[in-house]
Structure 1
Amino acid sequence: METLDEFDINIIKELEKDGRMAYSAIATTLKISNTMVHQRINRLMEQGIITGIKPIINEKKIGYDWGAFTGITLNKDEDSSRVIDELKKIPEVTECYFITGSFTLYIKMIARDHEHMRKLLYEKIDTIQGIAKTDSMIELGCAFKRNISL
């Protein structure tokens, strides 16, 4: 486990406010050198603590009004790598997790409307070789989503 000090935590908190914030602005806010901010961010990225700085897209604003969480049961758990590779080819599948319990995988997907969702499930996901069955729940909106508090 990597240890974060006060400087690392404060730099991450500033990036969470605005990932596009200039390193010099972070340095000014935190009253530290620009070089220190640059070195710390590079180290945090090298350690995999920060995995990237990218925009968060509001899917509903670009026409994807439907979301679903789908549990996937595989014929054989050893098929998971191949199934995951096929799921990666479907742009509407935005997340995929290994889980315990009744399913092997759990995915989140988005669609423009109910017909698009039906086609995703029946024509793209259910046809992947190795998938025994799926069980979906329609998402009605995100109450909140956040990073772990530092």
Structure 2
Amino acid sequence: MDDTDLKIIKELQNDGRLTNQELSERVNLSPSPCLRRVRSLEERGVIKGYTALVNQKELGLPVTVFIRISLQNHDLEHVQIFEDAIRGIGEILDCYLMTGKADYLLRVAVADLEAYEKFMREKIHHIPGIASIDTSFAYGVVKQTHTFS
């Protein structure tokens, strides 16, 4: 990956709706080589896809919750059961495997405290093998970005 690839990535992170013509002008390439580079980045998995960034509040999901979960057992079977269950739950935006006291950190978006309680009772508490759950509610955002600089 060279500087031109990095410029392409940065431009697409800032605006994934750029036309190839616009992108090629911004990175000082002609359209054909620019398109070849974009396709190569996609094929190599550097660019995983394109998406729209949405406002959680406008979607009716203003509450961001961070949930730390520890498992009772860490054998392959229990880990697989937990991770498969987590992948199927729509409210979970991110799930990270962690070091430290908790095994996993989840970022969840819900409408309110009642929705959070329902989410926990109906979705998380039914997953077998959870030893502990610790929850924190975000009451503000200091920085949130989707670009690398």
Q: What is the TM-score of this pair, normalised by structure 1?
A: 0.90
Residue 52 of structure 2 corresponds to residue 70 of structure 1: no
Rounded Cα–Cα distance in structure 2 between residues aligned with 1:101 and 1:32: 46
| Residue 122 (structure 1) shift | 2.4
Rounded Cα–Cα distance in structure 2 between residues aligned with 1:113 and 1:67: 9
Rounded Cα–Cα distance in structure 1 between residues aligned with 2:105 and 2:68: 4
Which residue does the alignment assign to 2:112? 113
Which residue does the alignment assign to 1:38? 35
Describe the superposition over 1:34-69 as per-residue Cα deviations: whole angstroms up to 9, x where unpaired: 111111111112222211111112111110011111
Which residue does the alignment assign to 1:26? 23
Residue 51 of structure 2 corresponds to residue 54 of structure 1: yes
More relative contact order in 1 or in 2 (CA 8 Å, sep 6+)? 2
Residue 18 of structure 2 corresponds to residue 7 of structure 1: no
CA contact (8 A) 1:94 1:110 kept: yes
Q: Which runs of 5 or more residues in structure 2 are unaligned? A: none
Residue 135 of structure 2 corresponds to residue 136 of structure 1: yes
| Residue 94 (structure 1) shift | 0.7
Q: Which runs of 5 or more residues in structure 1 are unaligned? A: none
| Residue 30 (structure 1) shift | 2.7
Q: Secondary structure at the match of 1:61?
A: coil
Amino acid at match of 2:119: L
Amino acid at match of 1:138: F
| Residue 123 (structure 1) shift | 2.4
Say what the alpha-carbon RMSD is for the aligned residues.
1.3
Q: Secondary structure at the match of 1:7?
A: helix
The size of the alignment, in residue pairs, is 146
Describe the superposition over 1:86-128 as per-residue Cα deviations: whole angstroms up to 9, x where unpaired: 1122110110010011111111111111100111122210221
Which residue does the alignment assign to 2:148? 148
CA contact (8 A) 1:74 1:131 kept: yes
Amino acid at match of 1:12: I
Rounded Cα–Cα distance in structure 2 between residues aligned with 1:109 and 1:135: 13
| Residue 142 (structure 1) shift | 2.0
Rounded Cα–Cα distance in structure 1 between residues aligned with 2:74 and 2:105: 13
